[in-house]
Every structure is written in structure tokens, then in C-alpha cells.
Amino acid sequence: MSTTRYGESLRERWDAGCYICVGLDSTITGVPQVLSYAAPAQRQLLFNKAIIDATFDEACAYKLNLGFYIEHEEGILALVETVKAIHHRAPGMLVILDGKFGDIGNTSASYARFAFDVVDADAVTVSPYVGYDGIAPFIERSDRGVFVLSRTSNPGAKEFQALETGSEGKVPLYSAVASAVANSWNSHGNCGLVVGATAIAELRAVRDVAPDLPILVPGVGAQGGDLVSSVQVGRDAHGGVIVNVSRAIIFASDGPDFDMAARQALGDMNRAVRDAI
Amino acid sequence: MSTTRYGESLRERWDAGCYICVGLDSTITGVPQVLSYAAPAQRQLLFNKAIIDATFDEACAYKLNLGFYIEHEEGILALVETVKAIHHRAPGMLVILDGKFGDIGNTSASYARFAFDVVDADAVTVSPYVGYDGIAPFIERSDRGVFVLSRTSNPGAKEFQALETGSEGKVPLYSAVASAVANSWNSHGNCGLVVGATAIAELRAVRDVAPDLPILVPGVGAQGGDLVSSVQVGRDAHGGVIVNVSRAIIFASDGPDFDMAARQALGDMNRAVRDAI
């Protein structure tokens, strides 16, 4: 992370007690009625810009999930323009494109160009199933970050991620992934891990095998994960944890005050975290 | 597969000895010079339409990798229009959107709408890492197909996919995935698997644990996998295998005869397969 273009800013956010990443899961159906006059892509963009303006001084990072921007025409444009707006409003702020990319060779190189050059994201999420060489085109962009799925936040995450592996049969897959990323994949110093807030024991276990990697923790709020525990357990020695909260911030109000409600929600969460740690 | 909208056509293709899926990996840089007058998205679309016209009567299916269409503006439009062209030219023909999707809940539902409603693909590829509930939004669309990554074709695929799992420690992960898909995920009869042609022993092993599932086999040609072995080993009792070939067909010539060269290449491959089985 030391070599990434967002590393220094992120460290400053942590030092200031900001651990919350605002997840811009700005689904068309979720965007408040007050913006319904605009066409779908425009509606997402206007919504995002208002949320960014209201939260950037209290946010640790922003995360955009590709799935919410690909569904309708011009969605990619809304995605690109949103990232541009974040970079303009808050230079240095970490912007994560959550694409869970996991293809091979040529194709991964194409996704990397999309994520880092077209969208201009600072970091991506990737799925480890294909192995290192499939993810290398992302990792080789050493000024950008790569967060590798270790333990996801969904109810059925255990199906494969908890399978015991190894000669002793005692290393669950999510932990084998975390070890590989920490000890082998991270030669450029730009890797991180994804571990869900719904799996606090696993988050603690991953911290043990990867003490120094930044961890992105989704699953707080609507999915049931606890914010304060996530920060307490997820922080490394340097305070490195990024806890994503989406709906509980961006959809805190569905009225015309949605942006101020988002600001209030983020502020309240930040205070709760600072009081606890 | 029996309930899918392409099932009957696919069975007819197999009965006619057509096992080759044409992979429309139509990278901008790969499209012949003769089409360089057109803007990038238009160039991909013109190229694809010419390839489709020249190959549809000898193809088993078409596969489009999202990664090659997302990189430039309007690429999604080229993707959508290409799928439309295939459905128009060859009704019933299986069109696979190779997105290796693997997200959770809401987000997977959004990707499923993208793949099946916006793009109107007949099937997708997905990554199993998240577990069943993350993939369910695709599988629940029972008239469409879902090909789950079991053993990928890249050199480093073994890193996690070959990890031994289970209480006896003797089931490699790719096989655990194949078993889960065959015995549990396939309740709608619309699931398949992805196993690379570069791993013939693993292809045989997957056939043993999943005797009836259609298998999509990438990795023939540029990646080094052998076409005839892939068909011989990959076919189930009903002949169900789909062997993807991309560059060796679509880029058979970089001259103005590219479409006829593609037709020739596909025809030669089909004859080689029919002679061998």
C-alpha cells in the first residue's frame, strides 16, 4: 500500500479516526423520489454527487459496485463520472471498484485497463479462485490496490471458503487465500483482503495470518455485521481497516434531505467508533 | 438443461457432431485492418456479424467475454447488438456471456438482470467462491444456463483449485465444486461446469463426479489445450460438451477474407473431431 497513489491519504484518514467506506450502492430503485425527474444514469450520478459532497470530509474511502452500474444503458458513464467527481472533490481519496474480477490472462488485462484507466479507480476487488496469474494484471499496476476476497459476508459463504485444506487438513480455504496474499501475492505492497463483518471470528483469524494487510470489511448494517466490532477486530497494528457501509448511510433518508441524512448517519457512526476504540 | 430455452437446439448441434463454441474474443487490436474505418464498438460489431454469418451453421454455441466489451465506451452496446444478431441469425443457438460473475445477494440479482435481460444471453459463467446463495439469482432463472468454474485453463489454476479438501483430505477443490453443482446446485436442471482443455486429467475426474452436466471447455488453441482430446474426454453419455475456440477461428486470417478463413478453420476443426469420435 505504501507505493499506491492513495496510501498517504488513507493513512491520514485512519489517523483521524475515519474507518468507514461509503458504499455507493446507488440502485435506481433506491434513489429518492426527488431525483426521479432525471434519466436513470443521470439520477445515479446526481445522487452520488450529492452524497459525496455531504460525506467526503468524514469518509475513509468510497466503494462502487460494478453490478449496480452495469444494469442499464449509460450506467458505466455514471460510474466513470462518479469516480471523477470523487477525485475532484477529495484528491487522494481511495476509490474502490468492487467488481470481484476473476478471469485469466488477456481478459484480466482488459478488466484491469477498464478499472484503472477507463474508470480510474484506485483499487479493485478480485476473486482468488483462478489463482495468482489470473490476478497478476491487476497487481502489476503497483500504484493501484487489489483487495482479494478471503471470507465473503453472505450467509452461504462457508460452502467452499470454510473447507479445510492442506496436508494437516486444518487450514480453511479463506485462511489459505489470506496467507497466499500476505506471503506471496503482495510483492508490490499493494494487496489487501476482503473479510465480511458477518464473520468476526474469521476476521480475527485472518488478522492473525495477515497482520499488516489492509482489510476491506463489507456486511455492516443491512447484512447484520456490527460496525464497532469490525473496526476493533479488523484494525492492524497501524489501524488499517476499511469498513464499508452502504444502505445505512446513502439511504438514511428517502426524502429530499437524503444527503444531510447521509452526513448525519456517517458522523454518528464515526463517533460511535471513536468512542469505542 | 432440459428446461432451458436453448436445450433442444444444443442437443441437435451435438447430434450433428458440432461441439465447438466460437469465442467472440473480438479485441479491438485483433480485428482486421479492413474494418479500421469504423469506431471501436462499431468495429467489434461489424466483425462479429461477419464471423456469425460465416460460422453459425457449423457452430455449437457462441461465447462472449464481458472483459473484451467493457474496456471502451459503447462496448456494452456492441455486446448487446452482437447477441441480438446471433439470436436473429440462428434462433435457439446458445449464447454464453462469460462474465465469471461471483458477487452476493442484491448485486448478483443485478448482474443476472444485466446478463439475461439487457444482454439477453442464454447462459453465463460464474465463479463458485461465494457459495450457492451468491449464485442463486442466476440459477433461479431456470430457462437460462449457469456454467460454474470448476478447473480453469490458466497455468496457475492449481494454486487453490487443486487444494485437497474434506475430512479425508482427498478431494481437490475443483472436484468439490463439481460435486456440489452436480448434486445440489442443479435442482432446476440448468447448471453446467467449466473445465479447461489444458487439464485433461481433471476434465476426466470432473466427468466422473458430474456424469450428466454439460461442460464448457476453454483453453483450446492459443492456450495449448487439444481439441480432439477435449471432446473425447469431455463428452457425457449424451455427448454433452462445448469446446470453446476463440482466436484460432476468429483471427484465422487478418486479411479481408477473415470471415471465410474463420468458416474454413471451424469446418476443419469439426471434421477433425468427427473423424476422431
CB atoms near residue B184 (< 10 Å): 11
Helices assigned H by DSSP within B16-157: 40-55, 75-89, 105-113, 132-139
- Say whether B70 and A110 touch across the interface (CB within 8 A): yes
Residue A63 CB-density burial (10 A; 0-12 exposed, 13-18 middle, 19+ buried): buried
Tell me how close the Cα of B5 comes to any Cα of chain A, in angstroms: 22
Residue B247: pLDDT above 80?
yes
Task: Summarize the confidence of residues A134-140 as an average pLDDT.
Answer: 98
Task: Summarize the confidence of residues B9-28 as an average pLDDT.
Answer: 94
Q: How far is CA B54 from the centre of its chain?
A: 19
pLDDT computed for residue B2 by the predictor = 64
- DSSP E strand boundaries for chain A: 20-23, 61-65, 94-101, 123-126, 145-151, 164-165, 171-172, 191-195, 215-217, 241-245
In this predicted model, which residue has the larger pLDDT, B204 or B71? B204
Active site amino acids of B: 100
Q: Please check whether residue B25 touches A, CB under 8 A.
A: yes
Residue A239: pLDDT band (50, 70, 90) is low
Give the H/E segment covering residue A204. helix A200-209
- Say whether A129 and B149 touch across the interface (CB within 8 A): yes
State the Cα angle at B162 between B193 and B237, rounded to 5°: 35
The grid cell for A42 is: 443521470
Tell me how close the Cα of B150 comes to any Cα of chain A, in angstroms: 9
Residue A211: pLDDT above 90?
yes
Residues from chain B that touch A102, judged by Cβ atoms under 8 A, are 100, 102, 127, 129
- Percent of chain A, pLDDT > 90? 89
* Nearest C-alpha in A relative to B76: A73
- Distances in Å between the Cα of A134 and the Cα atoms of A161, B24, B151 are 19, 20, 13
Helices assigned H by DSSP within A115-190: 132-139, 158-161, 173-180
| Mean pLDDT of chain A, nearest integer | 94
How many angstroms separate the CA atoms of A207 and A214, rounded? 10
pLDDT computed for residue B72 by the predictor = 79
In this predicted model, which residue has the larger pLDDT, B223 or A103? A103
Task: Summarize the confidence of residues A56-63 as an average pLDDT.
Answer: 98
Q: What digits encode the pLDDT tens for the residues A75-126?
A: 999 999 999 999 999 999 999 999 999 999 889 999 999 999 999 999 999 9
* Nearest C-alpha in A relative to B184: A159
The grid cell for B212 is: 450428466
Residue A50: pLDDT above 80?
yes
Interface of A with B in 165-204 (CB under 8 A): 165-167, 169, 173, 176-177, 180
Residue B61: pLDDT band (50, 70, 90) is very high
pLDDT computed for residue B221 by the predictor = 83
Residues from chain B that touch A176, judged by Cβ atoms under 8 A, are 160, 163
Q: What digits encode the pLDDT tens for the residues B151-189?
A: 999 999 999 999 999 777 689 999 999 999 999 999 999
User: What values do phi and psi take at B251, rounded to 5?
Assistant: -110, 30
pLDDT computed for residue A236 by the predictor = 75
Tell me how close the Cα of B71 comes to any Cα of chain A, in angstroms: 5
Task: Summarize the confidence of residues B209-237 as an average pLDDT.
Answer: 91
Q: Is A158 marked active-site?
A: no
Give the H/E segment covering residue A230. helix A227-234
Question: A214-218, B39-43, B53-57: which range is least confident on average?
Answer: B39-43
Q: One of A63, A100, A158, A170 is an active-site residue; which one?
A: A100
Q: What is the DSSP letter of A225?
A: B
Residue A254: pLDDT above 70?
yes
pLDDT computed for residue A166 by the predictor = 79
Tell me how close the Cα of A110 comes to any Cα of chain B, in angstroms: 6
The grid cell for B177 is: 465444486
How many angstroms separate the CA atoms of B60 and B19, rounded? 5
- Say whether A131 and B158 touch across the interface (CB within 8 A): yes
Interface of A with B in 211-230 (CB under 8 A): 223
pLDDT computed for residue A205 by the predictor = 96
Q: What is the DSSP letter of B117?
A: I
Q: Please check whether residue B2 touches A, CB under 8 A.
A: no
Task: Summarize the confidence of residues A39-64 as an average pLDDT.
Answer: 96
Q: Please check whether residue A160 touches B, CB under 8 A.
A: yes
**Residue A145: helix, strand or coil by DSSP?**
strand
pLDDT computed for residue A1 by the predictor = 62
The grid cell for B226 is: 487439444
Q: Please check whether residue B247 touches A, CB under 8 A.
A: no
CB atoms near residue B79 (< 10 Å): 26
pLDDT computed for residue B71 by the predictor = 86
Residue B154 has its nearest CB partner, among A72, A130, A149, at A130
